Chains A and B, each alone.
Chain A
Amino acid sequence: MKIQFRDVGKEFPVRDSDHTFPALSGVTLDVREGEFLTLVGPSGCGKSTLLDLLSGLTEPTSGEILIDGAPVEGPGLDRGIVFQQYALLPWRTALANVEFGLEAKGVPRTERRELARHYLDLVGLRDFEARYPHELSGGMRQRVAIARSLAFDPDILLMDEPFAALDAQTRESLQEELLRIWEATGKTVVFITHGIDEAVYLGQRVAVMSAGPGRIRTVLDVSFDSREGDLRADPRFGEYRHEIWTLLREEAIPVG
């Protein structure tokens, strides 16, 4: 197992009170080496909290998170995060942004440049290396962010609704490209989304979350006989979609 969540809980203090708010409770989940796992759930179900814990930016209140069998202790370059809002440094060119993670890793300057170029090329932005983020479209910015996370060669790619802010067409082409990159690099990917279609399209497995407090409800295996052609028109796609939709819908009905 690459990543193991063992009975993980996270509570946040409520302002001006002694109470705490449980964001996650009893989360147990295994992610396999080289797997593409999508996490889908309603807003407020603690998806992003889960990712923050995995990235080491916050610590769980209970339980433990293991990567390669060792507990997570703070952030590190074995995990790369891609944020919905790109998080590019606006004063750096596309190329310099990709180099940023490599600087953090301590890669020498010339090698840095070479690596950054290689990864910009991988996301199809070879000709845009000198552009600043504000000179790029949303889709291009996200490509740069993905290149940045790939460049320092983490084992795990954590993606927090990376395509949510993009238009439908750009989103689909980036989804396709992400799968291509995943196949080429063999990274373990944990991809958070609130889109059911996106979860089914990308994930080998889909973890469905429920809210209040956030837990893992089910983990679904997704497989198709063939991914050729319009996958979204495959009847199996519709079945998966419906199954997840039903799970999320049950969730939305108040329990009383």
Chain B
Amino acid sequence: MTAVARRAFRASAAIVLLAAVWETLPRLGAVNPVFLPPLTEVLTAWYDLLRTGQLLDHTQASLLRSLTGFALAIATAIPLGLLIGWYRPLAGFLNPVLELFRNTAALALLPVFVLILGLGETSKVAIILYACSWPILLNTIAGVRNVDPLLVKSARSMGLNAARLFQKVILPAAVPTVFTGIRLAGAYSILVLIAAEMVGAKAGLGYLINYAQLNFRVTDMYAAIITISVLGLLFNLSLVRLERRFSTWRTT
């Protein structure tokens, strides 16, 4: 075996094993194939969904919500976090509230969002925006506040004013921590999306999962679940890539 093949094997061994178990257990009758059909049947159903274009429609609807909420969260939480982190008294004042909200599960507020914003797209994007904002906000605040004080001292000794200090030292130093928050938010955006789509949606992968289950189209349900986990995986992978590009220096 070549080195590449060996690495590929090692990386996928567990997945292949899982697939094999999924395929054989229902066939052997160890689990009820009605509730857990063999993997090949699920994949056939997935292909059918893809062919008829249904899968694409639902995925598009989901991604649109997810990415809108995620992008809005980045656009609002980063500036807000920089502001709060920079003004220490403000951070001290807001900290108890931040702790409270941080420890409240976002989905607990879903009914509130629905109540206020209705069942449409607004409430779905809003709950994703809300859930994604926290990791970004908290990490940005931490990033700004935990900048090595010696770097600040050194820059101040060279006579840098507050604005230049922020631009040349605080901001670049905070980038890796902010990115950790963005990566977490990426995972949240998919997580919360599915739950939001199970309530009063007419499209989307969460809707598809729920709808298939209600109509006892079990293979379709699993097909949608697989789609969402692959989607989440790819999203996370691209964010990790991006993160690495922006923080090559943080390897001390």
Contacts and interface: CB of A to CB of B under 8 A. Distances in A.
Interface of A: 55-57, 74-77, 79, 81, 83, 85, 87, 89-91, 100-101, 103-104, 132-134, 152
B168 interface: yes
B74 to A, nearest CB: 21
Contacts of B251: 134
Contacts of A132: 248-249
11 contacts: A57-B153, A57-B157, A76-B159, A77-B159, A87-B153, A91-B173, A100-B168, A103-B168, A104-B155, A104-B159, A134-B252
Nearest to B164: A104
A243 to B, nearest CB: 33
Interface in B143-173: 148, 150-151, 153-160, 164, 168-169, 172-173
B157 A89 contact: no
B150 A87 contact: yes
A85 B159 contact: no
Contacts of A133: 249, 252
A75 B159 contact: yes
A100 B249 contact: no
Contacts of A57: 153, 156-157
Contacts, number: 54
B18 to A, nearest CB: 38
Given A87-B148, A132-B248, 10 more contacts: A55-B157, A56-B157, A57-B153, A75-B157, A83-B153, A87-B150, A89-B151, A91-B172, A91-B175, A134-B252
Contact of A87 (B151, B249, B250, B252): B151
Contact of A91 (B153, B158, B249): B249
Contacts of B155: 100, 104
Contacts of B151: 87, 89
Contact of B150 (A74, A77, A83, A91): A83
Contacts of A103: 168
B252 A152 contact: no
Interface string B230-252: 00000000000000000011111
Interface of B: 148, 150-151, 153-160, 164, 168-169, 172-173, 175, 248-252
Contact of B249 (A76, A83, A101, A134): A134
A90 B175 CA distance: 12
A77 B252 contact: no
Q: Is the interface of B mostly helix, strand, loop or mixed?
A: helix
A87 B251 CA distance: 16
A132 B184 CA distance: 28
Nearest to A76: B159
A73 to B, nearest CB: 11
Q: Which of B155, B168, B249, B250 has the most CB of A within 10 A?
A: B249
Contacts of A74: 159
A74 B157 CA distance: 8
A91 B164 CA distance: 16
Nearest to B151: A87
Closest 9 CB pairs of A and B: A87-B154, A134-B252, A104-B158, A91-B249, A75-B157, A90-B249, A87-B150, A81-B157, A75-B159
A116 to B, nearest CB: 14
Nearest to A132: B249
Contacts of B164: 104
A89 B169 contact: yes
A145 to B, nearest CB: 9
A57 B156 CA distance: 8
A153 to B, nearest CB: 12
B172 A85 contact: no
A127 to B, nearest CB: 20
A91 B170 CA distance: 12
A171 B155 CA distance: 25
Which of B155, B157, B168, B169 has the most chain A CB within a 10 Å cutoff? Answer: B157
A81 B155 CA distance: 10
Nearest to B247: A91
B154 A90 contact: no
A203 to B, nearest CB: 23
Contacts of A55: 157
